[in-house]
Structure 1
């Protein structure tokens, strides 16, 4: 349509000159930025990006957290995006552009594709139109049709696209490489595939990349190891470290733990190790214990890295104090090796050994205002109180929200006749019918 005709049809239409070269360069920059999520990123011009998150999603706390973080970061930069995650690149592309987006459950690819139009298979418009002439409008219809007549009439492309979307055929991707990142690669004269050989190659690659890190004064915080099979299909594993490291043996151990995730197929012809995230790492002086000085503190980085790899990054953390009177706000999770934040818990405020995730309601009775209860019933069990201390009154933090000004709690440390200790509170004065809650167990 001519611009003059479009402006006549839509008054006030805004025209922006097309810049295909700038758009392509911008897509490349966005693809390189997406390497923060996984080592295998491919462009899907003119406006798409494919990210293979297999082996890397655990570093973001799982696939759902990865998608949520990606969507939030794109939104903060003013970009709108439809995100989908599936077993294959073709299925993810289809669900993102023609479906509702989100995560397709493992093994649910065929069901997710059934009702999508055949254009979701990235077929040329002429093939889509030809399929429509014979009544095949949805991918489900293409799945149900006999394959031999389809191939004779429409050629191999519709069935190839369908097989790639459902995972029956692999789909090679043109992978982006992180620019100016320390990298080491090995290409083999004959394909390799045994775990023992791959483990030795991993150690060799780590040994080769360490001198580059030393020369730059850097340590690796994230390593990507890409395996190229002889069928041109790329696979990758990613590991992260709690602190910058250039200990080749330690890095090799972390990568070797992930080798079972790799399917070598008929053989791997090339392996590339990239330090995709690095930080400055100054040289450290050796311990002065030999000279009679104080020994250095134990470095827990290797232990934390191993636990993160085996249990998941989200499960390895430590608790740090937060300056808040409300118990559930007085602590937060921080990385296991994070530097001290400077805040400390008051030493004169006794707290229970275990704080419940959320206060649980209990039935309790007190004789007079501000007195501890005589007994309470929690989870169907009656507990008679023999000793108590309190109340410790905590008021709402009015600077957080307007409703906080009216909140209050009276906490009591109590001991039952069975010797058990609990932390109870009442969320209002007795005359105002304040309710009783259990918030902690034991005594620190």
Structure 2
């Protein structure tokens, strides 16, 4: 029904925008959690799960304790759940949506017989047609001649009825396990030379990158585990500035780490794992574009693996005309250059907190002293009035508007000055190149 009609029935009705993609992602997470009860877990529509607990219910004390445990855990997580247990998937679905409880073995008709025909997972059209004919429950439908049902409504109605009662088999398709991005190489003879370890790593990278390419994924974090003959292990971790699957580019990043390992009496097994992967869309670009981007990403990766990827940062434009708020600092590995600075006037290459200087009047002083240095003003361009953003509480801008001037001094410095008319004073806030 419409929202206004629903409000007539429920005055305190609350609504939220639908997020089908988010709901589906949460359902996938819930399906992985449900594997604690059985290995066969599948999706049931857009809002349900189906579990094949055959052979695992006794581990929880039976079907009733298992169902009670599911309800308790989901209730603690703030979720409301309806459930049903039966010998068939159709009967369990009917109990979960239109009834409750556990159906006795081989007694599906007794458990769901009084439920409406819509509990058979029928489409809306045959369900409404059956109700108009007076067929209100599943038991009423089961009492009708089968030939009559098929001629009038087609085979779907009888198929759903047989699936619910167990005369027609219906399987559960479990969710596939996520792909494992790891490869292993066992060596017949131990190795210890850096060139041999690099050759083995190259072979592993070729196999791993083939898996990543097939799934349209790229690696962000790689771990190389080297097992020595004395059962000790050496691990090399590299973090990539961008998700990539080019074995040649990744191999060069392992050189420094492999050169520092202690091979001991030799290495007899190598294992390469992509511990963090991201989707990489297939795109068609020119060779020059790929090379330019790859070189920058490789440089960020090399520096980041030494000092940390979070410490390699870049400036990004922000939507604000306030000089201090016109940019943000973000890690280069987790951001991309986007947007551009929009300003009618030139901005200094260096901005720092305002530093007071001596001066009187609304025009820049003929001479000024800043940072223990004396300057004579040769040329001044301005003013550019910048008003504070009233919706933000910034103590530095409580003094009101600012009149900015670009000043060129005789000593060669090009400074960015501003004047505060409300509380007359002069400050230096930036320096041009």
Instruction: Give the TM-score of the pair, scaled to structure 2.
Output: 0.52
Q: Which runs of 5+ in 1 are unaligned?
A: 1-21, 26-76, 78-177, 290-294
Match of 1:168 in 2: none
8 A contact 1:191–1:267 mirrored in 2: yes
**Preserved CA contact (<8 Å) 2:190 2:229:** yes
Q: 1:269 to 1:243 in 2, by over 3 A?
A: same
- Deviation per CA, 1:324-358: give whole Å up to 9, x if none: 1221221123454744544x322412111x214x3
Whole-angstrom distance in 2 between the partners of 1:326 and 1:299: 33
1:433 offset after TM fit, Å?
4.9
1:216 aligned onto 2:208: no
Tell me the residue number matched to 1:365: 359
Distance change in 2, residues 1:198/1:179 (3 Å)? farther
Q: How does 1:381-392 map to 2 (within 5 A)?
A: 381-392=373-384
The answer to whether the 8 A contact 2:311-2:331 is kept is: no
CA contact (8 A) 2:300 2:332 kept: no
Which of 429, 432, 437 is the equivalent residue of 2:423? 432
Distance 2:368 2:301 in 1: 41
Distance in 1 (CA, whole Å) between partners of 2:185 and 2:290 is: 38
Map of 1:303 onto structure 2: 296
For 1:298 and 1:190, how far apart are their aligned partners in 2? 39
SS at match of 1:204: helix
**Which TM-score applies when normalising by structure 1?**
0.51
Q: Which residue of 2 is the match for residue 420 of structure 1?
A: 413
Structure-2 change in CA distance of 1:325 and 1:267 (3 Å): same
Note if 1:346 corresponds to 2:336: no
Deviations 1:297-344 (A, max 9, x none): 6541343223431354245443221011221221123454744544x3
Q: Is the 8 A contact 1:359 1:437 kept in 2?
A: no
Say whether the 8 Å CA contact 1:391–1:411 is kept in structure 2.
yes
1:355 has 2:347 as partner:
no
Contact 1:191 1:269 in 2 (8 A): yes
Any gaps of 5 or more consecutive residues in structure 2? 1-32, 37-76, 78-176
- Structure 1 distance, partners of 2:194, 2:408, is 58
- In structure 2, do the counterparts of structure 1 residues 212 and 346 end up closer, same or farther at CA, with 3 Å as the change threshold? closer
* Equivalent in the alignment of 2:432: 442
- Whole-Å separation in 2 of the counterparts to 1:249 and 1:324: 42
Question: 1:237-282 CA deviation, whole Å, 9 max, x = no partner?
Answer: 2222233322111111112232234222333232210111222233
Once the two structures are superposed, residues 151-170 of structure 1 have per-residue CA deviations (whole angstroms, 9 ceiling, x without a partner) of: xxxxxxxxxxxxxxxxxxxx
Q: What is the CA-CA distance between 1:402 and the residue it aligns to? A: 6.9
SS of 2:254's partner is helix
Give the Cα separation in 2 of the matches to 1:298 and 1:425. 44
Q: Which whole-Å deviations, capped at 9, do the CAs of 1:409-444 have from their partners, x for residues lacking one?
A: 332210112343111224x33x7353x33222225x
Partner in structure 2 of residue 277 of structure 1: 276
CA change 1:341–1:182 in 2 (3 A) is same
Where do residues 17-28 of structure 1 align in structure 2 (5 Å cutoff)? none
Distance 1:405 1:360 in 2: 11
2:366 pairs with one of 356, 374, 377: 374
Q: In structure 1, how many angstroms separate the alpha carbons of the residues matched to 2:396 and 2:411? A: 37
Summarize the Cα distance change of 1:268–1:318 in structure 2 as closer, same or farther, 3 Å threshold: same
Q: Does 2:330 correspond to 1:331?
A: no
Please identify the structure whose Cα radius of gyration is greater: 2
Greater RCO structure (CA 8 Å; 6+ sep): 1
Q: Name the CA shift for 1:387/1:258 in 2 (closer, same or farther; >3 Å).
A: same
In structure 2, the CA distance between the partners of 1:231 and 1:241, relative to structure 1 (3 Å rule), is same
- SS of the counterpart of 1:264? coil
- The DSSP-based 3-state class of the residue aligned with 1:401 is coil
Q: Displacement, 1:286?
A: 6.5
Is the Cα contact below 8 Å between 1:191 and 1:268 reproduced in 2?
yes
Verify the 8 A CA contact 2:399 2:423 in the aligned structure 1.
no
* CA RMSD across the alignment: 3.1
CA contact (8 A) 2:218 2:245 kept: yes
Residue 296 of structure 2: SS of its match in structure 1? helix
Contact 2:242 2:297 (C-alpha < 8 Å) held by counterparts: no
Moved over 6 A (4+): none
1:223-238 map, 5 Å: 223-238=222-237
| Deviation for aligned residue 1:179 | 7.7
Change (3 A) 1:402 1:279: closer
- 1:397: which partner in 2? 389
**Mapped partners of 1:403, 1:310: distance in 2:** 37
For 2:198 and 2:216, how far apart are their aligned partners in 1? 27
Please tell me whether the aligned partners of residues 320 and 326 of structure 2 are also in contact (alpha carbons under 8 angstroms). yes
Distance 1:400 1:228, change over 3 A: farther
Query: Number of paired residues?
Result: 255
Write the deviation string for residues 349-388 of structure 1: whole angstroms up to 9, x where unpaired: 2111x214x325243223x2x2112222122110011211
